[in-house]
Each structure stands twice: as structure tokens, then as C-alpha cells.
Amino acid sequence: MEVLDGLEHFEPGSKGGALCIGNFDGVHIGHQELLAETLKLAKSVAGPAVVLTLQPHPMRLLNPQKMPEPICRPSDKLSWLGRAGADIVIVELTRPEILKLGPEEFLDKLLLKHIGPKWIVEGQSFRFGLNRSGDVNLLQELAADRNFQLRVLGPVQADLGRDGKFTVSSSLIRELLRSGLVAQARQCLGRPHVITGIVSRGAGRGRKLGLPTANLDRIEQLTPAEGVYAGRGWLGGKCYPAAISVGTAVTFDHGERLVEAILLGFDEDIYDQQIRLEFYLHLRQQWRFAGADELAEQIAADCEKVRELLEKGEIEISVTEHNE
């Protein structure tokens, strides 16, 4: 996959393919279906499958207070877009002059002038142009006079068990994560939710309890609700089962929200190293314990539960290196 830093770097010889436009936060299963269709149509016209995304999110300029927490880092988004089928991803800097373009200007001056697709692929909820005033109905009206075809896909739904079926969206995934429903978020994403951080020095309580933990700092993505989770940790290209705690260490009256992980089968000094944590299942809520001994017993039980899930195949340990 080729990543271009702006429309001006798109080669004229690459025109004539299929294009999909969006923010793609999380690159969830709905996005993946759009990309699969984009790739299919690109092949039908012997052109590239092109993705255009604005960075940062337009809400950062329009209304920073309503800026949604990102599900994924920009680098992960690019990696997942490539895996979903994109041949070329154009990352266009979000600028006021772009946000002021009316729908027809947005189409003519940005998409058709620079990319010249034969196909545009979008979902039913796609909006574009000033104040999001353009929609797929307008795009269909404009297609005939501008020598491109439009493919509109319906919503993708996920069966979330007793809660029923829901239309998959980045907003839904954020809601699920904020509620600690990481297994349901995993269904919508098509993979576990991941956060990335740098291991920092904490209070050292875990090691004193005989359960060394990695404390994460500088996390860029949305962190799930407070609780204890079963998941995986990636460190130095290797994968480990993990018990992950998100909370304020209420037993010790620690007010700051912490993300801590115990990597099973790993006990080395990894301060200042980058670690990725994947959330598979919610194990329990955060509780206040009578003291350190009772807490240590519960953490050991949490780790044992992770091992049981590993044996049942509900968590898998990859034998290949993690290269994102």
C-alpha cells in the first residue's frame, strides 16, 4: 500500500480507479466492507483502490469540545486500511478552506480534479461539503454529468447477543468501550480493541505483591471503562496473554486513573518501552479490598482466569511477530 501526504502527490497516471472517502476511525467491519467493494470495483476498471481521509478529524477545527476520542492511532488506521484492501491512502491535512467548500466544489476541486475515479463507494450515511450538506442522493445526481459511477452500500450490523443487532459505527464502538463491553466492540471491529503506551514507573505495588505489572503512560486511544480485562500484550514483536486493569487503585486510595497489565510468562525490566494491549473480555468490576493480601489473591485469580481462557482458545497467542 502507498501512503500519500496530500492530494498533490497523487500521480495522474493513477487516475481511473475506485475511491472511498471517510474518517475510518477504528477501520471496523463496516469500513472493511466498503474497502472490499472499492477493491472489487477498482479491479473491474484496472485501476487502484484509493482511500481519502482527512487528518485531523474535522471536529478538531469545527468544534474541539465535541471532538470524539480516537479509537485508533493514525498509524494503526493506515495499517488496517491496507489490510482491508486499499492500494493508495491519501492523508489530506484538514484545513479551514477545505471545510468551507460546498458539496459540488468538494467533489470537483478535490476528488475529480486530483483523483479522477471511475467509481466512488460510500455508505448510506455519507455526508460531504460545507456543514455536511451533501449526501449520497446529491452524489448520485452529480455522477451522470461528471463521468463517474456511485456504489452505495447499506449498513453493516453486528449481533451483540441479548442486546440484539446494531448498525456498526465508530460511535457505537466508542459507546461499547466506554461501557466496558470489549467483547462486543471486538465483534464490531473484527479484531480486539488495542491501546498503545509507554511503560512507566508506577508505585511498584505489583512487584511487592509478587505480581509485576506494566504501567502504561502516553496512551493516545480511547481506553475502556474501569474494570479488569483478559487480553493480550505485544512487546518487542512477541505476544503474551495478559490480565489488564483499568482503574484508580481504590484499595490504596489512588485517585489517578491507571492502566496496568500483567503479562503472563514475562518478568523483565521494560521501562520506557512501547507496549500494545488488546482487550478480549471483561472479567470483573474494580473492587476495594481489605488489604494488599486480599488484592494479591484476587489478581492471582484474575491471571488464572486468563490462563483458562487461553486453554479454551478464547484468547490465542500468535506465533508470528506483530509488525504494526
What is the pLDDT tens value at each position of the chain, 324 positions in all? 999 999 999 999 999 999 999 999 999 999 999 999 999 999 999 999 999 999 999 989 989 998 999 999 999 999 999 999 999 999 999 999 999 999 999 999 999 999 999 999 999 999 999 999 999 999 999 998 999 999 999 999 999 987 789 999 999 999 999 999 999 999 999 999 999 999 987 655 555 555 678 999 999 999 999 999 999 999 988 999 999 999 986 555 556 889 999 999 888 888 899 999 999 999 999 888 877 788 889 999 999 999 999 999 888 776 454 444
Specify the pTM.
0.91
Q: What is the pLDDT of residue 324?
A: 46
- The residues, ordered by sequence, that sit 6+ positions from 28 with a Cβ below 8 Å of its Cβ are 168, 169, 170, 173, 188, 189, 190
β-bridge partners, 275: 197
Q: Which domains does the chain have, with CATH numbers?
A: 2-153 (3.40.50.620), 155-191 (no CATH), 192-312 (2.40.30.30)
Q: What is the pLDDT of residue 237?
A: 86
Q: What is the pLDDT of residue 227?
A: 96
Give the helix/strand (H/E) hosting 319: none
Contacts 24+ apart (CB under 8 A), 209-214: 209/292, 209/295, 209/296, 209/299, 210/296, 211/262, 211/296, 211/299, 211/300, 211/303, 212/262, 212/267, 213/245, 213/260, 213/261, 213/262, 214/260, 214/261, 214/262, 214/263, 214/270, 214/275
**CB-neighbour burial class of residue 12 (10 A; exposed 0-12, middle 13-18, buried 19+):** exposed
Q: What is the 3-state secondary structure (H, E, C) of 77-134?
A: HHHHHHHHCCCEEEEEECCHHHHCCCHHHHHHHHHHHHCCCCEEEEECCCEECHHHCE
- The residues, ordered by sequence, that sit 6+ positions from 199 with a Cβ below 8 Å of its Cβ are 214, 215, 216, 217, 270, 271, 272, 273, 274, 275
**CB-neighbour burial class of residue 279 (10 A; exposed 0-12, middle 13-18, buried 19+):** buried
Q: What is the pLDDT of residue 281?
A: 96
Q: What is the pLDDT of residue 5?
A: 96
Instruction: Report residue 228 as a C-alpha cell.
Output: 479488569
